[in-house]
Structure 1
Amino acid sequence: MMKNIYFLYTFIFLFHLSLIAQTNESAGPVHVDSAKAVLSGSLSKAKLVPPSTDFKLYNPRNRGINKVVPGKGLPNTVDPAIQTKMGELKAKSPLFTFTAASTRSTPSDPTGVVGPNHYLNAWNSAFSIWDKSGNQIVPPASLASIGGEFENEVLGDPIVMYDQIADRYIISQFSETPDSFLIAVSQGPDPVNDGWYTYRFTTNDVLPDYPKMSLWSDGYYITTNKNTNTADQSPVVYTLERDKMLQGQSAKIISFPLPGIETNGFYSPAGFQTMGPQLPPRGNAPIIFLQDDAWAGVNEDHLKLWLINVNWSNPSASTISESQELGRSSGVSPFMATFDGGSFTNLAQPGNAPEIDALQATMMYMTQYRRFGTHNSVVLNFVVDVEPSAAEHAGIRWYELRQQSDGGPWSVYQEGTYAPDKRDRFSGSIGIDARGNIGMGYTVLDDSPSDPVYPSIRYTGRFVNDDLGIMTLEEQSIAKGQSPNPNSRYGDYAHLSIDPVDGVTFWHNGEYFEGVNRVNKVGVFRIAGDEPNDVGAISLLSPTNATLTNSEVIKVKIRNFGTNAQSGFPVTYSINGGAEVTEIFTGSLAASSSTEFTFSQTADLSEIGTTYEIMVSTGLNNDSSPANDSFVEQVKNLPPRDVGITSIDAPITGQNLSGSEEVTVTIENFGGKPQQDIPVSYQIGNNAPVKEVYNPVVPVGQNAIYTFSEKANLSASGRYKITARTRLENDFDTSNDSETKSVANLDCIPEGSDCSFGDGISYFELGEILNERIPCGDGYIDFLGASTDLDRSKGTFTVTVKSYFAEEDFEKFSMWVDLDDNGVFSDSERVLTSKVIPKADTAFSFDFDLPIDAPLGQHLLRIRAGDTRYEGDLNNPCEVMDYGTTHDYSVNITDSTLNIADFILNEANLVVVTEENSQYRVIMETSFDETLRLTVHNVLGQKLLENQLFNNGDAYVYELDMSYAAPGVYLLRVGTRKVGKVTRFIVK
């Protein structure tokens, strides 16, 4: 069985770790072979074999999941390199788009390259050829149509490449008869008429899964996903003798391991693909891979580089050496490159469609290298989970590395994680043009019911002189998805190439869906300016949201998108569509550069709470692109005093919490002026609040972390509600002052269960609780903040769950409600026992009952699920299961049969707590939640106060100020006009 195999794998893996420690930093070839060329003629119509139109699942991946070490790895919060806002520069729409393929091959694996006169594309397992206007020259044909070694070969994973220096096209796919690479090299620059040299290079009895090809000066390089457990010793990277292949001569292949690599399942390194008209010097061919510190054996997230030096005259003298590890000290921010514990169903689609593979642990194709006059650059990308502590949110981590001289070290010039909104972005392909501008195509996905996005293809980019680490262009669409992916397998790669004629036009090929068909769409776009006169206003630098005045300075950024320097053009602003203010930019603005412009005339933005719409534009004569001339931004005049609590960061749910737990909160300044000496408090349940003062300054729009000096007593087992608030005098908006959090001191927390095979609960629904795409974590997750009402008088309730794993009815589910609130889930509190989850990723519902006398109010709820064949008793809520998960929620038990008199007179307990300075806290604990009335009378019967009273979730609580009242006895009543509860209290 799979898990027994996993135990064997674990033993082998631990043994392998001991071998890694002995691995040298360099290695020689593992395998050397050669192949002869077989000539194939031009692609005549008579030779073309139609591609299959039937559904076919290609190459179920030769890989195991990327197993993470539970609890290991950074970041454990939001990605530190994240770009959370869309680029502000108006990008041009695609020059044109065209459908390169429509197929039922699963996945389609889109790949395509542009040359001087043709666009060659391929997919599983066919190809076609187009002119550069998007007209098809060679219709879709099976890869077997190429002939030679390709005859009758359609196994798949194609890659196409254009060798600009040689002006040749290359097509590759793998074969398993025998295990080998099939390579076709065009005999000339015309892929239609010049014919092909075809080669079969054997790979030593291992299928070369997920191959990626690149060009370096001394060969064609291919990286693969193979020999996962012995990648530091076995063939992983292959070098083909390019010089001989271009001549159709017998050519060698040399294979290398990757010494020092850490793999924990599927992996995909990359070679540097040379772009442009000039080859690098021979030797020192780089190979690069990401290493995630969530994996065993990796201490810090980093990019790892190797250098290969090939000796074609004496192949045994060839070497591969570890070269560099670029980690945090080199500018690589922590990243989480593994999803769902390494499983391959990650990103939710709209509706009930299968979740999509995020293509994790993969250096996405291509890794483009380009030579400039002052340096060499390489750009690369891979998918990351930008919020590891929450449900999966895919973003694209991208880099530009630079090398100051040939043979020198590489350094991080810039990095970014592109995730400008809540949508998933993945399957990226990135390139750098001849002017240093960067373009990136990718897939976008969103399962939001209110704004769903089926898998769609988009692009963004940045200009060479823009602020580092930011994709500054507004996102543009290449293709809008029409339907979901019917299968979790997604195109294993996308492919962006750059036109060799102008060096600046990007051609991106990606996959989306129309019904059951997988469509490969090519989008052609350009970032570099191609018009002489093109200037625009792009952003507002000041003012920003703050407390504004009647004389605010308007400062903006303007950009020259064109190829000519510009001067003497007008710049205009207006407020809320009012009168325009126009002034002249008198400096000189160089081509493809930006500058700041400050208007001499100020603006009146002095009305507190008002949001002002500011329009800014340029008015260059003969401007070629008016669409990017202007922008509109909103600025709010904030009240000067407005602060609040945005989160309670500590304590957290745990075992054996103490009588002195630290309470830590985040304070945010929502107002328009810096604030200090902010009164803050926290309250445990309905106890007296702890009041302190945060003294440091909190700037406008910033937050601060504060830990109270007085600790909280959470030593008794059970659930606690913690409320924290600010009490700033003359605070403008009190609705944002407070935050509430549920924390529990539990008898046990069974952390450490393995859920990487999909065991446990992936979906939970009960009443108003709906928790989808639950991450694996370390087997336990606290969801106490999620709560629902259970009306005990209604009898039967229904809970719905899913699991990613089900085998032979051994995956089972149990549930408890802690009715006595002691933080212990006893057998008598178990409401569901060992319910079978018979099918993976399918919703199953189970009914349960509560005792008719179940205590009203808030209680803890625990759920567990797992594979009951292994260690760990599912029905012992404290035992760690070998395979499974445990989650905790909250429920509020109510009873609709009780009337208001029952609640107020029988169920409620009304108390008045005396505090200092004639301040009192009125507390009436009950689960009843209708609005009540509070009144205060003196002994003469005179009413001093009447106010509404609301339930805060556990009780009615009212802060009563009697500082104005004379000493004496007073009567306090809570209830409705017809029924209520009365108590006395004394003002001294």
Structure 2
Amino acid sequence: MKKYILLLSLAFLCQFNLFSQNREKAGPTFIDSANVILSGPLSKAKLLPTSKKAKLYNPRNRGINKIVPGKGLPKTGDPVIQKKMGDIPGKSPILSFEGANTLATPSDPTGAVGRNHYMNAWNSEFSIWDKQGNQIVPPASLASIGGSFQDETDGDPIVFYDEPADRFIMMQFSDDLPPEGDSETPAALLIAVSQGPDPVNSGWYTYRFDIESLPDYPKISLWSDGYYITTNKDPRAPQENQVVFVLERDKMLAGDNGVKIIGFPLPGIENNGFYSPAGFSVMGSDLPPPGNSPIIYLQDDDWAGVNQDHLKIWLINTNWTNPPNSTIEESQELTNGVSPFTATFDGGGFKNLDQPGSDVDIDALQGAMMYMTQYRRFEGYNSAVMNFVVDVAAGPAEHAGVRWYELRQPADGAPWTVYQEGTYAPDGSDRFCGSIGIDKRGNIALGYTVVNDNPVKPIYPSIRYTGRYMGDPLGIMTIEEQTIVKGESPQPSASGRYGDYAHLSIDPSDDLTFWHNAEYFSGARRLNKVGVFRFSATEENDLGVIALLSPKDASLTASEKIIIKIRNYGLNPQSNFEISYSIDGGPLVTEVFTQTIPAESTAEFTFNQTADLSAEGQTFSINITTNLENDQNSGNDGITEVVKNLPPKDVGVTSIAAPKTQENLSTSEAVSIVIENFGGEEQTNIPVSYQIGNNPRVEEMFRGVLEVGGVETYTFSKTANFSASGRYTVKARTLLPGDFDPSNDSETTSIANLDCIPEGSDCSQGDGIFYFELEGYLNERIPCTSGYIDFIGGSANLDRSKKTFTVTVQTNFAEDNVEKFSMWIDLNDNAVFEDSERLITSEVIPEENKSFSYDFDLPANANLGQHLLRIRAGDTSFSGDLNDPCSVMAYGTTHDYSINIVDSTLDLEDFILNEAELKIVTDPNKDGLYRILLETDFSEPLRISVYTILGQQLLENHIENDGDGYFYELDMSYAAPGVYLLRVGTRKVGKVKRFLVK
């Protein structure tokens, strides 16, 4: 059984970690050699056909899992997230063409550009193109390479270009399963080195390096003294077994025999099962001195054994003369400049991100330093860029972004420091499967995959890129996102596997042009798309506006300064050129920029002519252009920005931060709210309030300063009583005099004081509920967390007259019919889920990753209104009682929701005239203030009206049932004393009551 194996593995790891904590340096744990096996030119070879069959390559195993729920930082979202796309206009791809077209799952896209060719490989095939995108070697099996590749198509290929040697390198692994009709063969790394710069006509040196176990997910990098290979090998013992290898590069380039391979462990590493460190790989022709070859890996404090998020660097020093004297040593733990991150999704599982048109989530590729980590030497320093996927969401939902870094080293052998970091997640889409590169001018490119299951604007897995220029603000991808290809359909496999990696390489012809290769889908086909793009200047004269710096949305005046940012995209400095702006298509204002902008630089410019933007609430369209004579690229000359004159006063509540649903809430709970300034002027002394159910409203004053666009949390000095078990409706609002837009003033939430909250169940292996649907309410992509999540803010309507209902759930683990599901509704509203309220009992969920529906009956006398609903599911073969709503299950989840019971057979007149009770209560804290309550189970919107005794209507407003009835605060403090009439209902039917204003 899986759980027994897991517990034994964890026990072993705990013992081993005690041994390895002080071990910072190690020698080789594996040394061997291999002889060359020559292979002729591909132009003369018999190309073996590609596979036409669907095949799942190298299914991933969960391995160990050392997530500690709730342990890691950050708690409030990614601290270095880039929430807005860059504003420098991007350049569309220079060239794009189709690479792989396969049924292999996943395709493992890889490709490298040389001086005259582009070589693409995938599971388990390859093809070659010229640099105009013409295919010159058709798709063929990897076995066509010959030599050590003969009869080998096990996968995880990598194509690599060694620029200093002007050679192509091809790598794949061989697993330890016997080929059909043959005896068992050992696991191996298979390497092919082109004998010259032409991969078609040069012929190949090939090598087979037999190793002790499967070198899963191998990634190759270049250093001056060898080819370095990192793997996902032996994830249970990477501190003990060889997981990083170095090959004798000089001999391989010469096609010699006796090429050595040395294997190293990674002392001090922590991982979460699947893992992939990275070697620094030299880009450009300038090699570093031999030795001190860096290996880097992320360390997430969500994992046991890691106390702080950081990047860990090892240095390998290889001694080819006496290999046993080679060493690997922990060199640095980079914490300074490394902001907290969450690099773990779904407890380490491999189905993470929603996609449109499918109920199968995509693997986010967590735990991997994404290929490649590029190293480049500059005058005065060395630089390395890298990336991995992180979860940027603040709560239990998941939102994937790309965390990227540039490290710098002031001199060879000196320590590395974080020069800049950022997390690219500019909107609500998931971004992952990144590949990053740095050109010879220091500009950085980032390619990645985008997916979004938004039903209005769905995005199937698509390939995009962004970047930044050398001198741009640190930590920001400043270049506007561009698309290489739009996906046509969802990832088709039930495995959820996506890509496994992408590959961005840099053209050695100019060291400026990026070639990015990644996976997308069309029906059942997995396709690779290669996109070619460049950021660096190529034209001599190219100028354009990139941003409107001022004004921004605010309270604007009749004399606003127009301040812009200009970029010189060209190779020549520029000065004395015209710049123009116009507003809403009006008169053109033209002035002259008299200073000088150097090549590939930016500058700011302020127009002397101001603009009248004083109309409150109006939106203005501002068009700005440069007018450079002989501009060679007019496409980036101008921009149009929209600016709004915000009303001075507009603040509101965006959320209720505390208290939260839990056990044993007290008589004096602190109430905290989050308020935001939507207006154009900073605000202070803002009246705020909260109200629990129909109790009197608590009013206080926020006396801090709320800047334009600012967000602050305010905690009321008056606490609230939540001690009685049950569900509470809490409404918070701002009461700023003269507020422009009352619609954003308030926020309402549900909070429950529950009899029990069974936290602590293990759901990391997929036990429990990860999809829930009831009567039109859908909650999918449910995270694991601590085994319990409060969803009582989500509510489904159950029509009592219908009686029978259907609930649909899905689990991510099912075995031997032991995964079962139960459900309760708290019909008597005492916050205790009693046996008599259990409507579904121990229903079997027979399969994982598939939706199953179950019917249940609602009692005919069920009380109308809102109630709590609890669901539980888990592996019933272990400890914990599924049908005890308070029991902590060993493996499973518990979730709470709200449901609203209605009855469509009752008409409005029944509710309003027969059942409803209209109350008018005087507020004891303020004369002339009344609380209007209509206690009824009717849920449709009603109207509230106030009349004088002579029939003059003073007020009519909209009123809604907040779950505890209809409630309205009526302020008559400015009305003349006398008798008034209050009416609540529809235009045809209503309740009327008299009241007196003194």
Q: Deviations over 1:513-559 (max 9, x none)?
A: 22322222211111101000000001110001111111110000000
Residue 19 of structure 2: aligned partner: 19
Trace 1:440-839 onto structure 2 (pairs within 5 A).
440-487=446-493, 488-839=496-847
Residue 13 (structure 1) shift: 2.6
Query: What's 2:98 paired with?
Result: 99
TM-score, scaled to structure 2: 0.96
Judging changes above 3 Å, is the alpha-carbon distance between structure 1 residues 88 and 934 closer, same or farther for their aligned structure 2 residues? closer
Matches for 1:185-196 after TM superposition, within 5 Å: 185-196=193-204
1:133 is aligned to 132
Deviation of 1:483 after TM superposition, in Å, equals 2.1
1:913: Cα distance to partner?
Answer: 2.4
- Asked whether the 8 Å contact 2:981–2:994 carries over to 1, the reply is yes
2:969 maps to which of 959, 973, 977: 959
| SS of aligned partner of 1:440 | strand
2:956 aligned with 1:950? no
Deviation, structure 1 residue 937: 7.2
The DSSP-based 3-state class of the residue aligned with 1:460 is: strand
1:101 shift after superposition: 2.1
Change (3 A) 1:277 1:934: closer
* 1:396 and 1:419 in contact (8 A); partners too: yes
Q: Which amino acid aligns with 2:17?
A: L
Listed as ranges, the gaps of 5+ residues in structure 2 are: 177-184
CA distance in 2, matches of 1:46, 1:246: 21
Partner of 1:213: 220
One-letter identity of the residue aligned with 1:152: D
Q: Select the residue among 408, 411, 423 that pairs with 2:417.
A: 411
| Structure 1 residue 53 displacement after superposition | 2.2
Matched, 1:346 2:352: yes
CA distance in 2, matches of 1:278, 1:865: 59
Indicate how the Cα distance of structure 1 residues 46 and 269 shifts in structure 2: closer, same or farther if over 3 A, else same: closer
Where in structure 2 are the equivalents of 1:912-931 lying within 5 Å? 912-915=920-923, 916-931=926-941
Is the 1:75–1:336 contact (alpha carbons within 8 Å) kept by the matching residues of 2?
Answer: yes
1:229 paired residue number: 236
For 1:419, the aligned partner's letter is A
Amino acid at match of 2:796: T
Give the conservation status (yes or no) of the 8 Å contact 2:947–2:955. no
Query: Residue 46 of structure 1: CA displacement?
Result: 3.9
SS at match of 1:13: helix
Name the CA distance, whole Å, in 2 between partners of 1:479 and 1:15. Answer: 49
Distance of aligned partners of 1:569 and 1:949 in 2 relative to their CA distance in 1, 3 Å threshold: closer
Please give the per-residue CA displacement for 1:956-978, whole angstroms capped at 9, x wherever unaligned.
Answer: 22222333456677665544677
Deviation of 1:17 (Å): 2.9
Q: Matched residue of 2:466: which SS? A: strand
Q: Contact (CA 8 Å) 2:272, 2:367: kept in 1 or not? A: no
**Deviation string, structure 1 residues 926-965 (Cα, Å, up to 9, x no partner):** 2213454556678x77778553451241222222233345
Structure 1 residue 433 displacement after superposition? 0.3
Deviations 1:50-93 (A, max 9, x none): 22222222122355265421222122332111111121111111
C-alpha displacement of 1:189: 2.0
Query: 2 CA distance for matches of 1:970 and 1:886?
Result: 51
Q: TM-score, normalised by structure 1?
A: 0.97
Aligned pair count reads 983
Give the letter aligned to residue 148 of structure 1.
Answer: G
Output the CA distance in 2 between the equivalents of 1:379 and 1:901.
Answer: 69
Instruction: Give secondary structure in 1 for the equivalent of 2:72.
Output: coil
Secondary structure in 2 aligned to 1:696? strand
The one-character-per-residue Cα deviations of 1:596-650 (angstroms, maximum 9, x if unpaired) are: 1100000010101100011111011111111111111100001111111111111
> 2:905 and 2:149 mapped to 1: Cα distance?
77
**What residue in structure 1 maps to residue 28 of structure 2?**
29
Partner of residue 79, structure 1: 78
Secondary structure of 1:828's aligned partner? helix
* 8 Å contact kept, 1:62–1:209: no
3-state DSSP of counterpart to 1:6: helix
Cα deviation, 1:148-169, whole Å, max 9, x if unaligned, reads: 2221111111111111111122
- Name the amino acid aligned to 1:893: I
* Range 217-226 or range 956-965, more displaced: 956-965
Structure 1 pair 914/436, CA: closer, same or farther in 2 (3 Å)?
A: same
Of 383-392 and 875-884, the range deviating more from structure 2: 383-392
Counterpart CA distance in 2 for 1:62 and 1:202 is 22
Name the CA shift for 1:63/1:245 in 2 (closer, same or farther; >3 Å). Answer: farther
The CA deviation at 1:906 is 4.3
Residue 904, structure 1, aligned to residue 904, structure 2: no
Match of 1:649, SS state, is: strand
Deviation at 1:795, TM superposition (A): 1.6
Provide the residue aligned with 1:265 in structure 2.
273
For structure 1, which segment, 150-159 or 971-980, has the greater mean C-alpha deviation from structure 2 after superposition? 971-980
* Cα contact 1:170–1:186 (8 A) shared by 2: yes
In 1, the alpha carbon distance for the partners of 2:80 and 2:824 equals 41
SS at match of 1:676: strand
The whole-number CA distance in structure 1 between the counterparts of 2:672 and 2:206 is: 67
Q: Please list the CA deviations of residues 332-352 of structure 1 after superposition, one character each: whole Å capped at 9, or x if unmatched.
A: 111111111111111222212
Preserved contact between residue 549 and residue 564 of structure 2 (Cα < 8 Å): yes
Query: Match of 1:379?
Result: 385
Quick one: which amino acid aligns to residue 923 of structure 1? L
The 1-side partners of 2:294 and 2:546 are apart by 38
Tell me, yes or no, if the aligned pair for 2:767 and 2:875 is still in contact at 8 Å: yes
Number of the residue aligned with 2:206 = 198
AA in 2 matched with 1:201: F
Give the secondary structure class of the aligned counterpart of 2:801: helix
Matches within 5 A, 1:852-931: 852-915=860-923, 916-931=926-941
| Sequence identity percentage | 66
**Residues 214 and 975 of structure 1: is their aligned pair in 2 closer, same or farther, counting only changes over 3 Å?**
closer
Distance 1:689 1:18, change over 3 A: same
Moved more, 949-958 or 725-734: 949-958
Question: How many Å separate the matches in 2 of 1:611 and 1:539?
Answer: 18
| Closer/same/farther in 2, CA of residues 124 and 932 from structure 1, 3 Å limit | closer
Mapped to 1, the partners of 2:497 and 2:742 lie a distance apart of 49
CA apart distance, 1:353: 5.2
| Structure 1 range deviating more: 919-928 or 559-568 | 919-928
Report the counterpart of residue 58 of structure 1 in structure 2. Answer: 57
1:8 maps onto 2:8 in alignment: yes
**In structure 1, how many angstroms separate the alpha carbons of the residues matched to 2:302 and 2:868?**
31
- Kindly state the Cα deviation for residue 732 of structure 1 after the two structures are TM-superposed: 0.8
Q: Tell me the equivalent position of 2:180.
A: none
Change (3 A) 1:963 1:592: same
The one-letter code matched in structure 2 to 1:959 is E
Q: Whole-Å Cα distance in 2 between the matches of residues 40 and 943 of structure 1?
A: 99
Flag the 1:977–1:185 CA change in 2: closer, same or farther, 3 A: closer
Q: 1:135 to 1:152 in 2, by over 3 A?
A: same
> Do residues 438 (structure 1) and 444 (structure 2) align?
yes
User: After alignment, is 694-703 or 142-151 more displaced?
Assistant: 142-151
Distance in 2 separating the partners of 1:894 and 1:86: 45
CA shift at 1:302, angstroms? 0.9
Residues 44-53 or 174-183, more deviating: 44-53
SS for the counterpart of 1:355 is coil
Query: Does the CA-based 8 Å contact 1:935-1:943 persist in structure 2?
Result: no
* Contact 2:357–2:489 (8 Å) recurs in 1: no
The verdict on how the C-alpha distance between 1:973 and 1:625 changes in structure 2, with shifts beyond 3 A counting, is: closer
Q: Which amino acid aligns with 1:398?
A: W
User: Cα–Cα, structure 1 residues 539 and 936, in superposed 2: closer, same or farther, change >3 Å?
Assistant: closer
